[in-house]
Each structure stands twice: as C-alpha cells, then as structure tokens.
Amino acid sequence: TQLLEQSPQFLSIQEGENLTVYCNSSSVFSSLQWYRQEPGEGPVLLVTVVTGGEVKKLKRLTFQFGDARKDSSLHITAAQPGDTGLYLCAGAWRGAQKLVFGQGTRLTINP
C-alpha cells in the first residue's frame, strides 16, 4: 500500500490545454513538496505547501494543499512542451527526517 497515490500515472495532451494532477493520501502531512524530474536528471523542487488550504502559484502552475493536509493538486494552464516531465509529490511529517514520495505523474505535452 502506497502512502501517497498520484493520478493519473500518465497524461499526454496537446500544447495549450489545461490539466490537473492529484496527490492523495490517508495520512496527514505537515508539509508537501512537488518536484519535477526531466529525463536524465534528478528531481527539482517546484514548491512546498505547509498550511491546509494553501494555494501557491509559479507562473502557469498552481499548487493547492487540501484543507485537511491529506491531499494536493497541481494545475497547469496553457501547457507548453517544456512542461513535459515526471511530476512527483512528497509528503513530510513533523519530526520525521524523511520524505515519502508518490509514484509520479508522467506528463507529455505535444506540440
């Protein structure tokens, strides 16, 4: 049983479309991080959300942390080919040193 479930696992859409990917858990997290990993590279942090209901924007990317701090979503507006990659969410518990990662959403944006 995975602590963090990401959906969908794969998503292929056309340039200019909007999309939302989800990260869900039955556990309550003290914070949640989103990373993007491109082929041949390590994951790179996009954002950290800490407060229930928090919304953060990074250009065309909007991240939301659920009110109960058990889930999160990433919405991309007007997707670009440069958004292609593996999107990983990772949850952290207060006092614990480790992050728990979801299995990721592999996103492909077609020109």
Strand partners, 105: 87
Closest CA to 6 of 81, 84, 76, 74: 74
Q: Which of 12, 30, 77, 80 contacts other proteins by CB under 8 A?
A: 30
Q: Which of 54, 83, 102, 109 contacts other proteins by CB under 8 A?
A: 102
Q: Which of 54, 74, 83, 104 contacts other proteins by CB under 8 A?
A: 104
Q: What is the identity of the amino acid at 72?
A: S
Using alpha carbons only, what angle is made at residue 13 by residues 80 and 63, rounded to the nearest 5 degrees?
60
Using CB under 8 A as the binding criterion, the count of chain residues that bind other proteins stands at 29
> Phi and psi at residue 12, in whole multiples of 5°?
-130, 120
Residue 34 in contact with other proteins, rule: CB under 8 A = no
Binding site for other proteins (CB under 8 A): 2, 4, 30-31, 33, 35, 40-45, 48, 50, 88, 90, 92-104
